[in-house]
Amino acid sequence: MIIQVPQRISNDVDSFVLDDILECLGITNTEYSVETTARNGRNIVIKNGNKNLYVIISGKSADGRNSFLAQSISTVLKMYIADEEEKEIYAFLLDTSSHAKTDYIVDTYRMIKTIGIEILNERKGFDIFPAYDNLREWKEKRTTRQQYNSANNSTYVLESSETYTIYGKCFGANSKEATLISCFVACLAKKEEKKVYFFQVEDNNSSKISENDRQLLESYGVIVENDLLPPFGPKQYEKQEKIESARNQAAFQLNLLNKYGQKKCLICENNIEESIIASHIHRITDINKSSLSWDDKCKEAVDPDNGIWLCANHDKMFENGLFYFMGQNLKTKVKITQMIENLDASTNTALDKIEDTLLKQQIYEFVKYNSELLILKDYIINNRYYNSKMRDYLERHRKRVNGF
């Protein structure tokens, strides 16, 4: 049996480590020779009979967060996928101390397990971390970990009923993280038969993802958009045939992510992504009709101050002018009050048919609670989001729906 060890990690992978790995794999009492190679990649290849066993080797110490494991995955995966022999892939941790159990690193374990890479140390009693079943679970973990400082995010994943859209900064360590997250999302998407799009976001002096990573993503079925997407801010974008292009839509969503964080209705805080819309305050149709120059039209179309996340209900209500804003204060049209009265009347009629008084009370409370979310009274836009540009857009909306 031959074990190939790249020169650059040969200090980390001594005979004790190799014996440990072989024991985990259940390959004992087998003679082997070590072949030192010059290739890249933090992994060894065990040539066992007609099977190639790829083992990704972590960093020596887990202190360095990113460089412990996440940075190594994409290079090895690419190599693994290209191998046409019979093969298996694993990861082995050189550090299993408490440093290797931070939330950040555990998240990496769970992502790579979802991709199908087993962590060998688990066979020797290292805590078992399950693969992720769905993206929501991953996002929740991430949200609690980061206490959601949206500006710090280098990778965003948006979900709709048919697609996942990933926005990744592609500079240095961010690029490797974005690639890993994309492979992970692609594995979930396959089960759900969804498409995955990857947008490369311009960063300080950023370059694009490496050709190696691009090919890896494509082998996972990820559709990689070629052009860099402009970073936060309305300044940079290219001329397009139509203002409502997919690219502008992507830029608009990215700008909203940067301004407000992950999708959540500004009014009712509903955060079920599939029901949240990147809603324009001043509508695209009105921007198109205006006498602005092409450049200025594009600016308004992607300007984060011209947008809010709204749930489908509130989006429709806002668009139809059932509510609007005076300064930061939400105002409703009389119609809504009537609507609620009607709702009350019809609820009471329906409730009259129910005999169980406790159930009746519960249903009434439920309907009342949900109606109140729709009434939107006393809502004020948070100072964090409100500024003079947003005020101007809101004024235009108010004039459109009220005619004054």
What is the footprint of Zn ion within residues 299-318 (CB under 5 A)?
311, 314
Tokens of 93: 């941790």
For Zn ion, the closer of residues 7 and 370 by Cβ is: 370
Binding mask 110-129 for Zn ion (x = CB under 5 A): --------------------
Do residues 145 and 127 touch, judged by C-beta distance below 8 A?
Answer: no
Q: One-letter amino acid identity for 331?
A: K
User: Closer CB to Zn ion, residue 287 or residue 376?
Assistant: 376
Residue with smaller CB distance to Zn ion, 93 or 310? 310
Residue among 112 and 277 whose Cβ is closer to Zn ion: 277
Say whether 301 sits in a helix, a strand or coil: helix
- Return contacts of 155-158, CB within 8 angstroms, 24+ apart: 155/181, 156/254, 156/257, 156/262, 157/181, 157/185, 158/253, 158/257, 158/263, 158/273
User: Quick one: 229 or 308, whose CB is closer to Zn ion?
Assistant: 308
Task: Report if residue 265 touches Zn ion, rule: CB under 5 A.
Answer: yes
**Rule CB under 5 A: is residue 46 a binding residue for Zn ion?**
no
Check binding of 268 to Zn ion (CB under 5 A): yes
The DSSP result for 237-258, as a single string, is ----S-TT-HHHHHHHHHHHHH
C-alpha count within 13 angstroms, C-beta hemisphere, residue 199: 25
Of 200 and 270, which has the nearer Cβ to Zn ion?
A: 270
Tell me how far apart the 2 most distant CA atoms of the chain are, in Å. 87
Closer residue to Zn ion, CB minimum distance, 57 or 394: 394
In the bound complex, what is the minimum distance in angstroms from residue 375's beta carbon to Zn ion? 12
Closer Cβ to Zn ion, 78 or 264, answer by number: 264
CB of 6 to Zn ion, least distance (A): 53
Q: Does 394 bind Zn ion (CB under 5 A)?
A: no
Give min distance, CB of 275 to Zn ion, in A. 8
Three-class SS state of 97: coil
Kindly state the smallest distance separating residue 317's Cβ from Zn ion, in Å: 9
Question: Going by C-beta distance under 8 Å and a sequence separation of 6 or more, which residues neighbour residue 297?
Answer: 243, 287, 288, 290
Q: Measured from the CB of residue 316, what is the shortest distance to Zn ion in angstroms?
A: 10
CB of 163 to Zn ion, least distance (A): 22
- Least distance CB 313 / Zn ion (angstroms): 6
Q: How far apart are CA 45 and CA 27, in angstroms?
A: 14
User: By the 8 A CB rule, do 57 and 41 touch?
Assistant: no
Q: Count interface residues toward Zn ion (CB under 5 A).
A: 6
Residue with Cβ nearer Zn ion (27 or 268): 268
Candidates 76-84, 267-275, 321-329, 347-355; binding stretch for Zn ion (CB under 5 A): 267-275
Task: Mark the segment that binds Zn ion (CB under 5 A) among 13-21, 233-241, 257-265, 333-341.
Answer: 257-265
Cβ of residue 357: shortest distance to Zn ion, in angstroms? 31
Binding residue for Zn ion (CB under 5 A) from 267, 276, 302, 376? 267
**H helical segments located in 261-332:** 284-289, 294-302, 312-319
| CA–CA dist 334, 343 (Å, integer) | 14
Is there binding between residue 276 and Zn ion (CB under 5 A)?
no
To Zn ion, the closest distance from the beta carbon of 261 in angstroms equals 16
Q: Rounded to a whole number, what is the distance in angstroms from the first to the last CA of the chain?
A: 83
Angle at 329 between CA 331 and CA 332, to 5 degrees: 10
Structure tokens that stand for 174 in this block:
């961010």
DSSP H helical ranges for 123-232: 135-146, 173-192, 211-219
List contacts with Zn ion (CB under 5 A).
265, 267-268, 270, 311, 314
